[in-house]
Amino acid sequence: MPSPEHLDAITQDDLIATGATRWAGDADVIGAFVAEMDFGIAEPITERLHAEVDRGAFGYLPAHLATELHGATAGFLQRRTGCTVDPAHIHEMPDIISVFQAVIGNFLRPDSKIIVPTPAYMPFLEVPELMGREILEVEMLVEDSGDSGVHYSYDLAAIEAAFDAGGELLVLCNPHNPTGRVFTREEMEPLVELVDRKGGRVFSDEIWLPLVLEGEHIPYASLSETAAGHTITAVAASKAFNLPGLKCAQLVTSNDADREQWERVGHFPMHGAANLGLAATAAAYTQAEDWLDDIVGYLRRNRETLVELVGSLLPKARLTTMEGTYVAWLDLRVYGIEGSLHDHLLERARVECTEGTACGSAWAGHVRFIYAMPRPLLIEAIARIARVLEPGRSAE
């Protein structure tokens, strides 16, 4: 199992050698922009991949591998959320965006609009337009929450207005990327009533469910029969177990009408899932939870370090509460940087983050920062940013 000391000892040179996207730029840049972890792969997953390669499992997807994945996913969801899902209602897909595309293309009216609360995961603001759909951005509500950071929540009145303006699908992300919120039952139940009253649908992206740092993950579709009746859920092992390049996610249906529709249209969307991805995901869900628990512990430690660093080195910044994920959302507007924050920090601090406006048009002056990196690199990244934004304080 990975110890904090082992993870702390991973160097930037080690990460560059992996060829990971975050570390594929200039050698002096600390990458904090792509949502991957720097902590390697659990041994049971690596062993399973070697076994599949050794036996040449490169043909079309065999039925037994799909069956194994469906059962492994159901078991993992039961253990991590307490919810029972029939394996027959779980379907392999290449990735979360493929699930999103399938929902837009097969479960909505042709002229309906997509409601995206912002800040949002960047592709949620790109994919609908590529499919000819109008996006209705709805800014989340923001309020100070004392020493624990800034609290983001859904704006029910604005979401209702978006439904009235022709929206049909609400994009729900929980745990939330990029704010790190883990939404409570009390927060989500009014959404269920609203969506039902407006005759809408929900695409529930729950890819981050294994990475809850405080609170508990409650699957949206599990809230009630009403919620199940208008929801398609997407999950995957890619964020929690470091497997995005293996192309395997899961689409979960929760009502009979959607199951019947998926029987008609699901073959080709599912066809892109990779054999090795299914095998690795099954191994992750059934054999690597101890590894995952250690990683979650390390992420909690990194979160505490990040809160301390921002408080001491960037005291005018506002940081989200980070209840889940390994994504931080930093409000740096007070520093008055004109133009692109991404470019400013990359050029002057040699730290690459995601520009806030990539997560929604209203979020200039913010950055998305990935803190799933060795703690010494995390400390160096924030210190570099502070030397640029708070030069007097950092020099003290």
Average pLDDT, the chain: 96
What's the mean pLDDT in 155-183?
98
Selection from 312, 307, 375, 390 nearest residue 345 by Cα: 390
Farthest-apart Cα atoms in the chain, separation: 66
Length of the chain: 396
pLDDT given for residue 49 in this prediction: 98
pLDDT given for residue 321 in this prediction: 85
Task: Give the tens place of pLDDT for each residue, 115-147.
Answer: 999 999 999 999 999 999 999 999 999 998 766
What's the mean pLDDT in 169-196?
98
What's the mean pLDDT in 188-196?
98
Task: Give the tens place of pLDDT for each residue, 92-119.
Answer: 999 999 999 999 999 999 999 999 999 9
pLDDT given for residue 146 in this prediction: 67
pLDDT given for residue 395 in this prediction: 44
pTM score: 0.96
pLDDT given for residue 396 in this prediction: 45
pLDDT at 341 over 90: yes
pLDDT given for residue 393 in this prediction: 67
pLDDT given for residue 209 in this prediction: 98
Q: What angle in degrees, to the nearest 10, is found between the helix axes of 275-287 and 63-81?
A: 30
What's the mean pLDDT in 254-277?
96
Percent of the chain clearing pLDDT 90 (strictly above): 96
Task: Give the tens place of pLDDT for each residue, 206-256.
Answer: 999 999 999 999 999 999 999 999 999 999 999 999 999 999 999 999 999
Q: Give the integer Cα–Cα distance in Å for 364 and 389.
A: 16
Task: Give the tens place of pLDDT for each residue, 282-339.
Answer: 999 999 999 999 999 999 999 999 999 999 999 999 999 899 999 999 999 999 999 9
What's the mean pLDDT in 43-49?
98
What's the mean pLDDT in 144-171?
91
Beta pairing partners, 143: 151
What's the mean pLDDT in 363-389?
98
3-state secondary structure the chain: CCCHHHHHCCCHHHHHHHCCHHHCCCCCCEECCCCCCCCCCCHHHHHHHHHHHHCCCCCCCCHHHHHHHHHHHHHHHHHHHCCCCCHHHEEEECCHHHHHHHHHHHHCCCCCEEEEEECCCHHHHCHHHHCCCCEEEEECEEEECHHHCEEEECCHHHHHHHHHCCEEEEEEECCCCCCCCCCCHHHHHHHHHHHHHCCCEEEEECCCCCCECCCCCCCHHHCCHHHHHCEEEEECCHHHHCCHHHCCEEEEECCHHHHHHHHHHCHHHHCCCCHHHHHHHHHHHHHCHHHHHHHHHHHHHHHHHHHHHHHHHCCCCEEECCCECCEEEEECHHHCCCCCHHHHHHHHHCEECEEHHHHCCCCCCEEEEECCCCHHHHHHHHHHHHHHHCHHHHHC
Determine how many CB atoms are found less than 10 A away from the CB of residue 141.
14
